[in-house]
C-alpha cells in the first residue's frame, strides 16, 4: 500500500484501537474467509459438473439402445466451458482474497487486528491452488483425450 493510500485512509477513517473495532476487524476477516470458501465451492461444482457431463455423455454414446447424438462434440465443449469457468473463478477469487487480506493487514488497520499476520494464516490459498491444478488437469484430460 502506498503512502498516498495510507494518508487517504487516515483522512477518511478515524481508527481507534478498541475492543469494538478489533471485533469488527475480526468479523470482516472471517467474512473474507467465508467468501473465499463460497468461491471454492462454486468452482468445485463447475469443474465437477463439467467433467461429469463429458464422462456421462461419453458413456451414453457407447450404450446399445441409445441413438447416435446429433452433435456429439457439444457435451465436450460444454464440459470444457464449465471446467474453464471453475478455473477462472478460482483465479479471480484468489486475486480478490489477496487484495482483501493485504488491505486488512495494511496501514492503520494493523493496530486493531490484535494479532500478527502470520498468526492468522489459513490453508485456503493452498487449497485454491491445489483445486486449480486439479481443474487444469481435468481440462487438459478432456481437451486432449482421444476422440
13 touches 108 (CB < 8 A): yes
High-pLDDT (> 90) share of the chain, %: 46
Q: What is the pTM of this model?
A: 0.78
39 touches 89 (CB < 8 A): yes
b/e per residue, 27-58, with b = 16+ CB within 10 A? eebeebeeebeebbeebbebbbbbbebbeebe
> What is the tens place of the pLDDT at every residue in 111-145?
787 777 666 678 999 999 999 999 999 999 999 98
Secondary structure of the chain in HEC code, one letter for each residue? CCHHHHHHHHHHCCCCCCHHHHHHHHHHHHHHHHHHHHHHHHHHHHHHHHHHHHHHHHHHHCCCCCCCCCCCCHHHHHHHHHHHHHHHHHHHHHHHHHHHHHHHHCHHHHHHHCCCHHHHCCCHHHHHHHHHHHHHHHHHHHHCCCC
Q: How is the chain split into domains, by residue range?
A: 36-143
Identify the segments of the chain with pLDDT beneath 50: 146-147
Backbone torsions φ then ψ of 88, nearest 5 degrees: -65, -40
pLDDT at 36: 95
pLDDT at 33: 92
Amino acid at each position: 500500500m502506498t503512502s498516498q493510500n495510507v494518508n487517504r485512509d487516515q483522512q477518511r477513517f478515524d481508527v481507534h484501537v478498541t475492543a469494538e473495532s478489533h471485533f469488527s476487524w475480526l468479523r470482516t476477516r472471517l467474512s473474507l474467509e467465508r467468501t473465499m470458501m463460497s468461491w471454492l465451492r462454486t468452482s468445485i461444482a463447475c469443474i465437477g459438473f463439467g467433467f461429469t457431463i463429458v464422462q456421462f455423455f461419453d458413456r451414453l454414446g457407447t450404450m446399445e439402445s441409445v441413438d447416435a447424438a446429433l452433435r456429439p462434440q457439444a457435451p465436450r465443449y460444454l464440459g470444457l466451458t464449465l471446467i474453464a469457468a471453475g478455473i477462472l473463478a478460482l483465479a479471480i477469487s484468489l486475486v480478490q482474497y489477496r487484495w482483501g487480506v493485504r488491505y486488512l493487514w495494511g496501514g492503520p488497520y494493523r493496530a486493531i487486528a490484535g494479532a500478527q499476520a502470520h498468526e492468522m494464516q489459513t490453508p485456503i490459498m493452498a487449497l485454491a491452488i491445489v483445486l486449480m491444478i486439479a481443474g487444469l488437469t481435468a481440462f487438459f484430460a478432456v481437451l486432449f483425450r482421444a476422440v
